[in-house]
Structure 1
Amino acid sequence: MPALVLLGHRCRLGSDDLVIPGILESTLRAIWLALIIWLFIWHEINTELCINGWHLRMYLIGVMVILGSTLILTIVLTCHSMRGTIMHTAPRRHVPLLLLLRFMFKIPEIVWNVVGTVWIATGLVDCTGETTLPILMKAVVGYCWIVMICFTLGMLVLFDPLGKPSKHSNASESDPNYFMESSSTYIQVWERRCRVLCCCLNTKDRNNSEAFRNVADVLASIFEDNNLVASDIAAALVLLRLKRKQEEQEAQVQRQNINSSISVRALQLEGRLPFQQTPPPEWMKVGSAHHFMRFALGSYGWPWFIYRRFWGGLCSLWSGLKCCACCRALPPSILSDNCCMCHTAALKAVTNLEERNLIYVSFHNSIFQVPFYVAIDDETEHVIVAIRGTLSLQDAITDMTALAAPVEAEGLPEGSQAHKGMVQAAKFVMQRLEETRAIGVAMSSRSRYGLVVTGHSLGAGTAVVLSAMLRPQYPHLKCFAFSPPGGLVSQELASATQSFVMSVIVGDDLVPRLSMNSLYDLRNKIMCVLETCQKPKHEVLTQGLLSLCCKRSPNLGQDYAVESPSQNRPLLPTPGSSYTYFNPVFGFHEEQESLDDVRTPFGEGSDGSTTSARPTDTPLFLPGRVLYCTQRTSPEERSSEEEPHHWEAHWADPQEFSELLITPNMMRHHLPKEVLETLWDVATQPFVPS
């Protein structure tokens, strides 16, 4: 629902977010009140042993009165917060008033606790003999101070620094200049947040400051004018997961009725689909992709090497470690490894390369500066440039610098653009390659060898841009991009990369579907599912939490049926249009305001006039030819968990990845280990004639 507004300021919670905190607080206060009442009744006679014992009795009675009153008010507030649905807020219209009243009860609680603290500190209440009353009073005072400190910290966290409830709430805010000022405010707020979260980095560095501003612009473009709170988004993701599950079940029924598939052998030899004007080059094969994925995995060093096999990984690395290497003469071609050369040892273990085949290895990592290495692969007769994916906070900042930046190289179409963070990273790698002449050194000893550039995730995006820059110098270059980001290159550059880039995507991987366009699409779908949901938020979140803990799909019942925005109503309606949906409570179609009122009108002023496009408006796409690996059967339908092969692959249209999928595997399918194992599974399947 829209964010809760108190005294003209917006909070980071909604009026239906008080259910679970209210139940928790009511339970704790009830237990504490019962304990104080029981101890007071049991020890009340002992107050006669205390000097000024009536002060002690009066204080404890006052605490019980305040606790009881607050408990009643909290229960009323919690019950009120349970009413209505996520977006139907009318039944909860009294929540702000009750919440203010609840805050006012803090005043006597604070005053009374100060009084008790003074009495204890000054020794006004002093008991003789064996009695626990002084200890009880100190415990009550300490508890009250802890509660008030937690309450104050909670208020600071929930306070929205933007202050105003909504840019659409006042008619005076229809001025186009208001949107520009508000957008600037959002960017400043997000930039401050980035600097706080990345306080361990050098925030005064010019490179870092530019990255923070770009990340702030990206985040502001997604979240500005979005009057939702975090719990609304969490509930929407649960509902979208339910819808995705329904779609998977429908698709499975269709697959059972259609007994046709594309064999791996046919894919490797022809791979021609209607949307492709020409078949892919001969070198784009599943087996080759699996082979070069090992080099992309090796660039991660020791963390991913010991993933899933901790003790076995340590034993495998032991023989390749060089203890106290920082005190010894290191090979000049290996830079920024740790003291025991763990990264290099893991690199050699994963790729089966010998140290003489490592021409240049750099594990230096900063914003826009990614680790990479140059090696000679005698098995396939290629010189390999492998770039590491995201593994640090600096890499995450590079990922989030998602503005479009020009890519300049001979032979590229005019107006070619790409993800700015990865363009900067590619320029860094290019500069290091030119300074060290690493590729030239490798080629001089292997003149007949080809050149392969590869990487996973961030490394894949950087590899694509770097390949475009290196193509004029190495026209037969090949690029294997594993799980590249969806918002990577402009349409012109995407078309130009089809001849030298093979992108590999596994299952429900989130990253290849992640772009500014897909995030805008997800934001609008969130609004749609919240509007159509007819159950309270706490029930949706509870079911989502249970499904997460029990590893099963949420069972929300028929009342949680999620409408499809693309089929039942326009996802991006024309200005001024409205949409309707069937209200199962009242049994009629209820008209709602246009989605223009809940999304930021990028590229248009509030009066319909055209404004300058923001840097985040440039659409970016997947690069090259896309090999898509999918599961042949769902986990529930497999006859046995020991089934050796349950993946298949086909050439896919990049447009298939324009929408984010909310599934339990969307992060797991992105892991480099999963990509490597999936490619092995596909590559080793026996040939079955189609």
Structure 2
Amino acid sequence: WIGILVLYTVHKGQFDCAGGGLLHSYLLVLLVLLAAIICALSAIVCISMRGTISNPGPRKSLPKLLYTRLLLYLPEFIWAVVGAVWVSDSSVHCEKTVMSVIFGTVVASWIIIVFTIIGVIIVFDPLGGKKTVYLTDGVCRNLESSQSGQLLYNVKSTATRVWEKRIRLLCCCIVQDDDHRVAFTSIAELFRAYFSDTDLVPSDIAAGLTLLHQEQDKMESCPKEPEEVLCHSPSSPVTDDLDIELENAAHYMHFAAAAYGWPYYIYTNPFTALCKLNADCCGNRPTDSDITGSDRHNFHFGSILKITGLQYRDFIHISFHNKIYEIPFFVALDHKKEAIVVAVRGTLSFEDILTDLSADCEDLTLEDVLENGFVHKGITQAANYIYQKLINDGILNQAFTIAPEYKLVIVGHSLGCYAFSPPGGLLSKSLADYTKHFIVSVIVGKDLVARLSMPNMEDLKRRIVRIVANCNRPKYQILLRGCWYEVFGGDPDNFPTELDGRNQDLTQPLLAEESLMVHRSSSYSALEDESHLNSPPQYPRLYLPGKIIHIVEESSSKRLCSSDIKYTASWSKETVFSSILISPKMITDHMPDVVLKALNSLAQEHGACLSCQTR
């Protein structure tokens, strides 16, 4: 509005031309229309700042203002059409500067309208009030043959279809076969079940995560009992075992990172990677390596060579083939450790994301495990695919024919027997204990992925709802102060979140008028009665595989930027990762370059200690 007002003031004496009156009228009416829109938006902002997330009473007049703004879209659209017609009229003959100003104004109006429509489509929830009929499974059984039961079934089906359409839209660039369609339906059902009993918008979730981060920082600053872990301390046989595993993990992490190919190499060497790859990858492919899948210009293979430091002849099989449940991997000879290494790539494509999100539980029975176990469906199918390729295609036979005395080591960022940052919800307790004989998981800091499982996500949802419902600060204050805290830091004890009522039970149903959880849903019941928190979970609890090495920073800085970071490592238990921790580093701690940096730091420290002891 200010820009158009300035343009009108500067050029108001230049409309004395053929058709200039039309353009003059267009600007005047547009100024009045924008002034009305600004008034409506200002009122919406002022009303939106009232109350709290769980107390919408002071905002009860907001729907009327929203409808007023919606009505203003009609004259705004009509006037944009009129402006487009007038500015393109051949009978209008004004100065080129004036025409350019009007043309820019019309284009800006259309850009705003288009982006507004796109934004509404993205944030609009087509389910809307249909969430109000969400019932518990017990009520559903009682109404199985009734009209209410049919209504509940229709609502759930509609919600699943909505989520499936969203997922298909996000994955519109990939070829969709039967496996994809099954995965879409499975993932849509998962999202439907998770979000069906909540009435939270994205900004509510952001506010809840901000408050949880501050509360966790407060708890970390308080004295607490030592965890039941085997610490990385000197003169202990357990420590010697840990040091050996850390050295091996640091070595094999290069193979796990190399499986990502050129994206990882360019990410870690942004200024020199392209030049090096162009210089080294212009030759022909080696004939002694079996390479499948697309690798134009040998960029992937060239990056693997650079990262691992191996020679062409050391590779037995390389697969860049990537579909849902079918992930890239390579098999190579590691002469330094005398091992045949199978390196599996982590998540890098939409197909990989679909594999990760196929989080249904599958039964897995092993002779050495007494009770039946449960495993992550998507990752299990990906592991079976690689197993079948290794055995049926004779890849392992070929490798052991070349090096029969070598051992077999499987590595991977998220998947492998040296499992770097694996997802949390992988195996049931019995299978997790069984894998401790041959799997080592390495977790850095507050890695989100290592704590991801459906029970942990349900727990996070309940914690967000509880902390948001009991905070008496307006949402804009939570978000603004939270942004300051995340960027510049501060003492969480001095942060005025005023969570005075966080230990009180929620006494009002939060549906429709004052609701964050859908009334009568399982999550709402858990908020009403603490005993529900100990009730049998909706999803089986799955754990990290094998023995777990947890690496944490010694640095006291909680901000993203920290110089000369030092790390400590210790053996940990799978129960330590049964809750999602909120932190600015919860994503970066999962990145393969961060894991490699931490392992290299610990390996160098261990090497320095050994050299000091020999002296």
The normalised TM-score by structure 2 is 0.83
Which letter does structure 2 place at the counterpart of 1:250? C
Distance, in Å, in 2 between the alignment partners of 1:209 and 1:443 is 39
1:3-47 alpha-carbon deviations (Å, 9 max, x no partner) = xxxxxxxxxxxxxxxxxxxxxxxxxx344346446654x56xx55
Distance 1:556 1:213, change over 3 A: farther
Length, aligned pairs only: 588
SS at match of 1:481: strand
Report what 2:425 is aligned to: 487
Distance 1:307 1:158, change over 3 A: closer
Report how far residue 197 of structure 1 moved.
0.9
Q: How does 1:207-246 map to 2 (within 5 A)?
A: 207-246=179-218
Distance 1:319 1:557, change over 3 A: same
Distance 1:407 1:375, change over 3 A: farther
Report how far residue 528 of structure 1 moved.
1.5
SS at match of 2:411: strand
Q: How does 1:207-356 map to 2 (within 5 A)?
A: 207-250=179-222, 262-266=231-235, 269-270=237-238, 285-313=245-273, 320-323=280-283, 325=285, 330-336=287-293, 338-356=295-313
Distance, in Å, in 1 between the alignment partners of 2:304 and 2:80 is 62
Distance, in Å, in 2 between the alignment partners of 1:417 and 1:170 is 28
Report what 1:429 is aligned to: 386
Distance, in Å, in 2 between the alignment partners of 1:361 and 1:622 is 28
Report how far residue 293 of structure 1 moved.
2.0
Distance, in Å, in 2 between the alignment partners of 1:480 and 1:134 is 66
Report how far residue 422 of structure 1 moved.
0.8
Distance, in Å, in 2 between the alignment partners of 1:188 and 1:240 is 32
Would the aligned equivalents of 1:301 and 1:347 in 2 still touch at CA under 8 Å? yes
Would the aligned equivalents of 1:218 and 1:616 in 2 still touch at CA under 8 Å? no
Report what 1:619 is aligned to: 541
Distance 1:603 1:400, change over 3 A: farther
Report what 2:531 is aligned to: none
Would the aligned equivalents of 1:337 and 1:344 in 2 still touch at CA under 8 Å? no
SS at match of 1:659: coil
Q: 1:106 aligns with which of 69, 73, 79?
A: 73
Distance, in Å, in 2 between the alignment partners of 1:339 and 1:119 is 51
Distance, in Å, in 1 between the alignment partners of 2:299 and 2:88 is 58
Report what 1:385 is aligned to: 342
Which letter does structure 1 place at the counterpart of 2:576? E
Q: How does 1:498-577 map to 2 (within 5 A)?
A: 498-547=436-485, 550=487, 552=489, 558-562=495-499, 568=503
Report how far residue 98 of structure 1 moved.
1.0
1:345-371 alpha-carbon deviations (Å, 9 max, x no partner) = 332333333333322221211111111
Tell whether 2:588 aligns with 1:668.
yes
Report how far residue 378 of structure 1 moved.
2.9
Distance, in Å, in 1 between the alignment partners of 2:159 and 2:454 is 17
Distance, in Å, in 1 between the alignment partners of 2:325 and 2:211 is 36
1:81-110 alpha-carbon deviations (Å, 9 max, x no partner) = 221222221111101101111222333444
Report how far residue 398 of structure 1 moved.
1.0
Report how far residue 495 of structure 1 moved.
1.9
Which letter does structure 1 place at the counterpart of 2:220? E
Would the aligned equivalents of 1:359 and 1:376 in 2 still touch at CA under 8 Å? yes
Distance, in Å, in 1 between the alignment partners of 2:409 and 2:501 is 43
Distance 1:80 1:398, change over 3 A: same
Distance, in Å, in 1 between the alignment partners of 2:252 and 2:320 is 19
Report what 1:202 is aligned to: 175
Report what 1:438 is aligned to: 395
Distance, in Å, in 2 between the alignment partners of 1:221 and 1:136 is 52
Distance, in Å, in 1 between the alignment partners of 2:113 and 2:476 is 26
Report how far residue 167 of structure 1 moved.
1.6
Report what 2:57 is aligned to: 90
SS at match of 2:231: coil
Distance 1:305 1:39, change over 3 A: closer
SS at match of 1:85: coil
Distance 1:563 1:302, change over 3 A: farther
SS at match of 1:627: strand
Distance 1:403 1:309, change over 3 A: same
1:353-405 alpha-carbon deviations (Å, 9 max, x no partner) = 33333222212111111111222333333222221111222111111111112
SS at match of 1:370: coil
SS at match of 1:310: coil
Report what 1:12 is aligned to: none
Distance, in Å, in 1 between the alignment partners of 2:547 and 2:215 is 29
Which letter does structure 2 place at the counterpart of 1:411? D
SS at match of 1:559: coil
Distance, in Å, in 2 between the alignment partners of 1:211 and 1:264 is 46
Distance 1:96 1:266, change over 3 A: farther
Distance, in Å, in 1 between the alignment partners of 2:494 and 2:2 is 34
Which letter does structure 2 place at the counterpart of 1:438? I
SS at match of 2:317: strand
Distance 1:338 1:150, change over 3 A: closer
Report how far residue 168 of structure 1 moved.
4.8
For structure 2, the 5+ residue unaligned runs are 527-534
Distance, in Å, in 1 between the alignment partners of 2:54 and 2:597 is 44
Q: How does 1:446-457 map to 2 (within 5 A)?
A: 446-457=403-414
Would the aligned equivalents of 1:294 and 1:676 in 2 still touch at CA under 8 Å? yes
Tell whether 2:152 aligns with 1:185.
no
Which letter does structure 2 place at the counterpart of 1:156? I
Report how far residue 229 of structure 1 moved.
1.0
Report what 2:532 is aligned to: none
Would the aligned equivalents of 2:197 and 2:517 in 1 still touch at CA under 8 Å? no
SS at match of 1:166: helix
Distance, in Å, in 1 between the alignment partners of 2:123 and 2:516 is 29
Report what 2:529 is aligned to: none
Distance, in Å, in 1 between the alignment partners of 2:554 and 2:334 is 33
Would the aligned equivalents of 1:239 and 1:562 in 2 still touch at CA under 8 Å? no
Would the aligned equivalents of 1:316 and 1:349 in 2 still touch at CA under 8 Å? no
Distance, in Å, in 2 between the alignment partners of 1:387 and 1:627 is 20
Distance 1:556 1:99, change over 3 A: farther
Report how far residue 537 of structure 1 moved.
1.9
Distance 1:70 1:264, change over 3 A: same
1:547-592 alpha-carbon deviations (Å, 9 max, x no partner) = 55x4535979543144796xx357xxxxxx8499xxxxxxxxxxx9
Distance, in Å, in 1 between the alignment partners of 2:244 and 2:520 is 44
Distance 1:432 1:115, change over 3 A: closer
Distance 1:409 1:70, change over 3 A: same
Report what 1:369 is aligned to: 326
1:649-679 alpha-carbon deviations (Å, 9 max, x no partner) = 1111111101111111112211222222212
Report how far residue 310 of structure 1 moved.
3.0
Which letter does structure 2 place at the counterpart of 1:513? R
SS at match of 1:210: helix
Distance 1:321 1:181, change over 3 A: same
Distance, in Å, in 2 between the alignment partners of 1:594 and 1:228 is 6
SS at match of 1:504: strand
Distance, in Å, in 2 between the alignment partners of 1:333 and 1:505 is 33
Report what 2:530 is aligned to: none
What RMSD, in angstroms, separates the aligned Cα atoms of the two structures?
A: 4.1
Tell whether 2:117 aligns with 1:152.
yes
Distance, in Å, in 1 between the alignment partners of 2:346 and 2:79 is 57
Distance 1:36 1:335, change over 3 A: same
